[in-house]
């Protein structure tokens, strides 16, 4: 009965959300405040209604109610109860319900935060968010209802996809999906401001920036966790393969990164108004493209859901959104023009613009490579998949240029800088980069591209450290201790210095990419128990094997004694599991990770005597990629955190407005 209640709650949520669309937009347009408010309050109830459906699905999983088709397809009696969380979004229908409830919560949070601060914009933004929510709920109700019953009740379910049985799956998919749908929030705020005829004012920028950063953070954490999952469980020694589903998360991230930078120019200088609307619309377009690919679009991927007509619905919605955005933009474009102009090519604004262009170029190169198989199929009748070399060759230099701009941009002043001033600001970072390049060259690093990339990283780090040192010294001269001065400096301008912490995290990530891209070593070893081998300064001895049968899988773990030089580092175990019901094998690499390098070993199939081919990698600096996650989180939190103490009153020109009841 509980499941049935959840089933009925879905169309109710869809109807209420549909009402929120009409009431919010009509109420604002026709200036009927009660109608707009009614729409907003209706939207507020959607998460509560969806919570009933969510609880019903969780209950069905926990109680092994295999009469529910989705439960039978994504769980079985052997599944550990904790994996109910993963099973919930393991399939298309459940993941749609997940993103619907998460998006409804985000929408409620965003609308509540706007209601008082942006009274004209918020009804339109609420209406637009409700459009997206209604679309999601419509797809669930009519095409993919996770609470749909079977005509018969199976004794057991099929079980969860083995590749999802990993700790990373508890966090990566939900964060990634939330990140993709969250792009709709800043998009709705920007579009809402335009529809409310307030786009030419910059009042939406603060909230647009905050929600943009929330969305950016979710996308970033999702990408990082996805890479970590790929590294530890897919067993190919890497973390990024330019797979369409990976690309579908990267593309909106690139556009959102451009947006969260560009919006600062609008905040600071009242410039880039049109550009920011274009950027956030592009980010939303790319996020929807990601959903289209994930939901069974025609682009082949190793880990999208099965191909289905649902993908085409997402495509149709994406096209409708794009056309709607273009129409709204064309309508309001005269009011979006800024009075301010770029004063000089040598200024922070110009640096932002160049960086934006680079981000968008990388996003569209990735889009082109991702959808190329479809174009080749249509034009030549042959599916040609664009592989890793294309993306690395084209995007590699673009990403390097972005890192260079990340070092130069923040150091340049707004409006204009003379060449001599620019040089004086950049001399220390450039000297640090030169010094590092020299040291690395003397130490034997010869690869020009890696030297260039590491020098670019040095520019960023030195620029940040130099500014911090200047600030700390200045405060220290006024009597503050060094640590206190540093903390006070960071908290004194949180958006700026929080951004710097994020930049440092990106450099940590870049170090991992550079190390593993240029200096990774890989070899295959055929080994039996008792055999030893060496690679990259490590020696490893195959000491034991353990075979265990579970209800759903056969698990084999091979143990190795690991040495670096003469030092015994410990015993590591790499495993392979066979899932007969799914007819797949899942591997789990053994990884010994240090800041300098990772030892990574993964098995192929085992012979009866325990003999197997082991693929071994030594990946330098990958540790820094995973360590960048917490730093990145910290930096974003700092940038988003409100200032301590009362802010001085905003200096507003007294333009009178009259309060009227309509």
Partner 1 sequence: MLVLIVVLLALLPAAAILYPFLKKGAGAYYEDEDETSTAAELSRRWDSAIAGLRNTELEHAIGSLDEQSYALLREQYMTEAALIMKTMDLEEEQEQALRDQMDTQARDVRSRILGHESPPGEADRCG
Residues of span 315-354 touching partner 1 by CB under 8 A = 334-335, 339-340
Tell me which of 269, 553, 576, 615 binds partner 1, using CB under 8 A. Answer: 269
Please say which residue, 80 or 661, places its beta carbon nearer to partner 1: 661
Please say which residue, 155 or 660, places its beta carbon nearer to partner 1: 660
Please say which residue, 80 or 339, places its beta carbon nearer to partner 1: 339
Strands lying side by side in the sheet with 567-579: 532-535, 538-549, 554-564, 567-579, 584-588
48 binds partner 1 (CB under 8 A): yes
Please say which residue, 7 or 239, places its beta carbon nearer to partner 1: 7
- 551 contact partners, CB below 8 Å, separation of at least 6: 77, 78
Cα–Cα distance measured from residue 639 to residue 647, given in angstroms and rounded to the nearest whole number: 16
Tell me which of 67, 361, 392, 493 binds partner 1, using CB under 8 A. Answer: 493
Sites for partner 1 among residues 618-647 (CB under 8 A): 647
Tell me which of 456, 489, 591, 618 binds partner 1, using CB under 8 A. Answer: 489
Per the CB < 8 A criterion, the answer to whether 575 and 586 are in contact is no
Sites for partner 1 among residues 159-198 (CB under 8 A): 197-198
Tell me which of 14, 21, 42, 132 binds partner 1, using CB under 8 A. Answer: 42
Per the CB < 8 A criterion, the answer to whether 159 and 552 are in contact is yes
Give me the half-sphere count of Cα atoms (radius 13 Å) on the Cβ side of residue 299.
Answer: 29
Cα–Cα–Cα angle for 20, 23, 25, rounded to 5 degrees:
95
Rounded to a whole number of angstroms, the minimum distance from the CB of residue 276 to partner 1 is 15
Closest CA to 242 of 369, 362, 373, 383: 369
Please say which residue, 121 or 516, places its beta carbon nearer to partner 1: 121
Per the CB < 8 A criterion, the answer to whether 351 and 412 are in contact is yes
526 binds partner 1 (CB under 8 A): no
155 binds partner 1 (CB under 8 A): no
Alpha helices for 270-345 (secondary structure H): 273-294, 309-332
First to last CA, the chain: 46
Cα–Cα distance measured from residue 248 to residue 366, given in angstroms and rounded to the nearest whole number: 9
Closest CA to 11 of 132, 139, 128: 139
If binding means CB under 8 A, how many residues of this protein chain bind partner 1? 78
Tell me which of 64, 158, 267, 592 binds partner 1, using CB under 8 A. Answer: 267
Strands lying side by side in the sheet with 597-606: 521-527, 612-620, 597-606, 590-593
Phi, psi of 649 (to 5 degrees): -55, 140
Tell me which of 387, 413, 537, 595 binds partner 1, using CB under 8 A. Answer: 413
Site string for partner 1, 117-146 (x = CB under 8 A): --xx--------------------------
Tell me which of 26, 29, 44, 149 binds partner 1, using CB under 8 A. Answer: 44
Cα–Cα distance measured from residue 646 to residue 48, given in angstroms and rounded to the nearest whole number: 36
Sites for partner 1 among residues 197-226 (CB under 8 A): 197-202
Please say which residue, 330 or 651, places its beta carbon nearer to partner 1: 651
Sites for partner 1 among residues 425-464 (CB under 8 A): 425
Q: Which stretch binds partner 1 (CB under 8 A): 209-217, 317-325, 415-423, 624-632?
A: 415-423
501 binds partner 1 (CB under 8 A): no
């Amino acid at each position: 009965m509980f499941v049935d209640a959840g089933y009925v709650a879905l169309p109710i949520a869809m109807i209420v959300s549909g009402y929120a669309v009409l009431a919010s937009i009509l109420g604002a347009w026709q200036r009927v405040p009660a109608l707009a408010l009614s729409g907003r309050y209706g939207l507020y109830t959607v998460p509560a209604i969806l919570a009933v459906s969510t609880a019903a699905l969780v209950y069905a999983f926990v109680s092994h109610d295999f009469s529910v088709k989705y439960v039978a397809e994504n769980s079985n009696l052997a599944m550990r109860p904790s994996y109910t969380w993963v099973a919930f979004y393991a399939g298309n229908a459940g993941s749609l319900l997940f993103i619907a409830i998460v998006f409804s919560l985000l929408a409620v949070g965003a609308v509540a935060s706007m209601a008082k601060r942006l009274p004209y914009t918020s009804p339109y933004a609420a209406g637009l968010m409700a459009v997206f929510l209604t679309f999601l709920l419509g797809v669930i109700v009519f095409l993919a209802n996770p609470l749909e019953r079977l005509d018969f009740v199976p004794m057991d379910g099929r079980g969860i996809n083995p590749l999802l049985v990993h700790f990373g799956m508890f966090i990566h998919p939900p964060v990634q999906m939330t990140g993709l749908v969250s792009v709709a929030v800043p998009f709705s705020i920007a579009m809402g401001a335009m529809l409310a005829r307030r786009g030419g004012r910059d009042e939406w920028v603060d909230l647009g920036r905050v929600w943009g950063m929330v969305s950016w953070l979710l996308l970033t954490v999702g990408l990082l966790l996805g890479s970590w999952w790929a590294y530890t469980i897919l067993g190919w020694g890497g973390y990024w393969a330019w797979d369409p589903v990976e690309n579908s998360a990267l593309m909106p991230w690139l556009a959102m990164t451009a947006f969260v930078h560009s919006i600062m120019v609008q905040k600071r200088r009242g410039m880039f108004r049109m550009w920011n609307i274009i950027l956030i619309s592009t980010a939303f377009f790319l996020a929807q493209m990601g959903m289209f690919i994930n939901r069974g679009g025609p682009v082949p991927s190793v880990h999208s859901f099965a191909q289905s007509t649902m993908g085409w619905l997402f495509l149709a919605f994406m096209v409708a959104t794009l056309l709607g955005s273009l129409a709204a933009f064309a309508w309001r474009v005269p009011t979006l023009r800024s009075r301010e102009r770029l004063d000089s090519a040598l200024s922070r604004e110009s640096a932002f613009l160049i960086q934006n262009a680079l981000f968008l170029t990388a996003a569209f190169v990735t889009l082109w490579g991702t959808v190329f198989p479809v174009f080749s199929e249509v034009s030549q009748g042959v599916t040609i998949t664009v592989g890793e070399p294309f993306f690395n060759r084209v995007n590699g230099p673009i990403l390097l240029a972005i890192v260079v701009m990340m070092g130069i941009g923040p150091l340049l002043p707004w409006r204009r800088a003379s060449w001599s001033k620019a040089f004086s600001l950049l001399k220390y970072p450039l000297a640090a980069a030169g010094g590092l390049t020299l040291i690395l060259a003397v130490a034997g690093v010869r690869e020009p591209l890696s030297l260039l990339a590491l020098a670019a990283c040095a520019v960023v780090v030195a620029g940040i450290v130099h500014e911090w040192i200047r600030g700390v010294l200045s405060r220290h001269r006024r009597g503050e201790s060094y640590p206190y001065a540093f903390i006070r400096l960071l908290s004194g301008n949180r958006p700026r210095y929080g951004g710097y912490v994020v930049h440092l995290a990106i450099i940590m990530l870049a170090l991992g990419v550079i190390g593993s891209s240029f200096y990774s070593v890989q070899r295959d070893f055929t080994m039996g128990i008792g055999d030893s081998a060496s690679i990259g300064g490590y020696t490893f001895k195959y000491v034991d094997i353990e075979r265990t049968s579970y209800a759903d899988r056969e698990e084999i773990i091979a143990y190795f004694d690991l040495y670096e030089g003469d030092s015994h580092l410990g015993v590591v175990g790499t495993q392979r599991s066979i899932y007969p019901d799914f007819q797949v094998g899942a591997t789990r690499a053994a990884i010994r990770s240090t800041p300098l390098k990772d030892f990574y070993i993964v098995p192929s199939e085992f012979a009866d005597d325990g003999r197997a081919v082991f693929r071994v990698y030594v990946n330098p600096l990958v540790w820094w990629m995973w360590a960048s996650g917490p730093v990145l989180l910290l930096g974003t939190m700092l940038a988003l955190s409100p200032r301590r103490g009362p802010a001085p009153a905003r200096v507003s020109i007294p333009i009178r407005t009259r309060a009227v009841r309509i």
